[in-house]
Amino acid sequence: MAASSSGVSIPASEAVQVLVSSLADDSPLVREASMASLKDIATLNPLLVLECCYTVSRGGRRRFTNMAGAFQVMSVGVQALSERDVDQTFMSKLAKIATAEMISSKELNADWQRAAAGLLVSIGSHLPDLHLCTLPPPLYQFEVGTYLDIGCGLGRRRIIYEPLPC
């Protein structure tokens, strides 16, 4: 249990939830401080931090304005997981959120896109064979063999859409 300055103790999950909600604060100083604290906590208790970040990230950028911060914290949490704590179903949920955010946006904000990619890399380091068999709805609109341009600027690539066999 964590103790506040007034001497009243609150459960750790509630304290982490407050820190996660502070990632969307208007003040950059508050956002940076809460991110640093969450990254420290994530190295000690990654599952707690991942659950709290997952809860706020389910609404996407429209509900939670600092997805870059949430994805960065989740990436640290996933990296800190021990092999016995890695749950393929939960990692798949995190990967789907990151993937859905990346493919559903038309805005070019490198911060949250880089953070989402970092989360996917962290997940892949634990589960390199993880397949997302249930594709997010935006990919249903493409037929097999459709050319897709991904990335931005000089990192732009053209790929052919072919769903992975499940």
What DSSP letter does each residue of the chain carry, written as one string?
Answer: -EE-TTS-EE-HHHHHHHHHHHTT-S-HHHHHHHHHHHHHHHHH-HHHHHHHHHHHHTTHHHH-S-HHHHHHHHHHHHHH--GGG--HHHHHHHHHHHHHHHHH--S--HHHHHHHHHHHHHHHHH-TT----S--GGGGGSPTT-EEEES-GGG-EEEE--PPP-
Predicted pLDDT at 10: 60
- Looking at per-residue pLDDT, the higher value among 45 and 5 belongs to 45
The per-residue pLDDT for range 118-133, each reduced to its tens digit, is 898 899 888 877 765 4
